[in-house]
């Protein structure tokens, strides 16, 4: 498959560019103004330190209205839009810290959000991903299954409506989740890069 901003990605609805996929995904996430962008990035980066996040009351009141935020029994944030402290299939190493991602695609967009290089282990998949690119992938030729869920599905449960359909594959002939299509690593990374740019702009 070709990759890059102008690459065509085959969907059931026809052919879309990576930018068009990012455009379809953007409304599924909480709308962020300048303050919202700062809060969102603060949650990601504090969570990446390996401890639950406690927000000031004003920020906490705002975030409680957002989907995709998970709390422990003490009301602290332990999972946020792809990043988790709780063990999951996709293990992330940032220096000596171990964190987890909700799905295969999260491992590709999180390095830019966190501003750091990440080592990824997911069953037999090993990646090194920087904010700029996928630096290494084993096995080579990896693919990522992808879906564009409805807003209702995301608001109900982002993990079951999206993450459960987004996996790593080694073959284009592998059986995919219903409604899913396959992207190369480069294409999946590009969708994440474009979505990050749309959501955070110069704040990254």
The answer to whether residues 5 and 18 touch, using CB atoms and an 8 Å cutoff, is yes
In a domain, 8, yes or no: no
In a domain, 111, yes or no: yes
- Which domain covers residue 48, as residue numbers? 16-197
56 is a catalytic site residue: no
In a domain, 57, yes or no: yes
In a domain, 109, yes or no: yes
d(CA 83, CA 66): 15
Q: What is the pLDDT of residue 12?
A: 42
Encode burial over 22-46: b for 16+ CB neighbours within 10 A, e otherwise.
Answer: bebbeebbbebeeebbebbbebbeb
Which residues lie below 8 Å from residue 101, measured CB to CB, with a gap of 6+?
A: 82, 83, 84, 88, 90, 92, 107, 110, 120
- From the candidates 72, 103, 138, 157, give the one annotated as an active-site residue: 103
* Whole-prediction pTM: 0.89
In a domain, 118, yes or no: yes
In a domain, 54, yes or no: yes
In a domain, 162, yes or no: yes
pLDDT in tens, 29-60: 889 999 999 999 999 999 999 999 999 999 99
Q: 3-state class of 15 per DSSP?
A: strand
pLDDT in tens, 102-141: 999 999 999 999 999 999 999 899 999 999 999 999 999 9
106 is a catalytic site residue: yes
- From the candidates 19, 106, 138, 157, give the one annotated as an active-site residue: 106
Q: What is the CATH number of the domain that holds 176?
A: 3.30.450.410
42 is a catalytic site residue: no
In a domain, 135, yes or no: yes
Q: Is the per-residue pLDDT at 13 higher than 80?
A: no
Work out how many domains the chain is built from and give that number.
1
């Amino acid at each position: 498959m070709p990759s890059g901003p102008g690459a065509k990605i085959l969907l059931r609805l026809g052919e879309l560019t990576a930018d068009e996929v990012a455009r379809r995904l953007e409304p599924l996430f909480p709308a962020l103004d300048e303050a919202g962008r700062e809060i969102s990035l603060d949650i990601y980066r504090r969570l990446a330190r390996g401890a639950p996040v406690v927000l000031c009351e004003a920020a906490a009141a705002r975030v409680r209205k957002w989907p995709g935020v998970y709390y422990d029994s003490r009301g602290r944030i332990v999972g946020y839009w792809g990043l988790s402290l709780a063990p999951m299939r996709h293990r992330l190493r940032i220096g000596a810290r171990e964190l987890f991602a909700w799905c295969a695609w999260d491992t590709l967009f999180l390095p830019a959000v966190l501003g750091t290089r990440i080592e990824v282990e997911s069953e037999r998949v090993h990646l090194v991903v920087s904010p700029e690119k996928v630096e290494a992938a084993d096995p080579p030729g990896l693919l990522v299954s992808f879906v564009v869920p409805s807003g209702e599905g995301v608001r109900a449960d982002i993990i079951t409506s999206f993450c459960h359909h987004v996996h790593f594959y080694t073959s284009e002939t592998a059986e995919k989740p219903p409604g899913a299509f396959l992207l190369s690593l480069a294409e999946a990374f590009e969708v994440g890069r474009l979505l990050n740019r749309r959501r955070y702009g110069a704040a990254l």
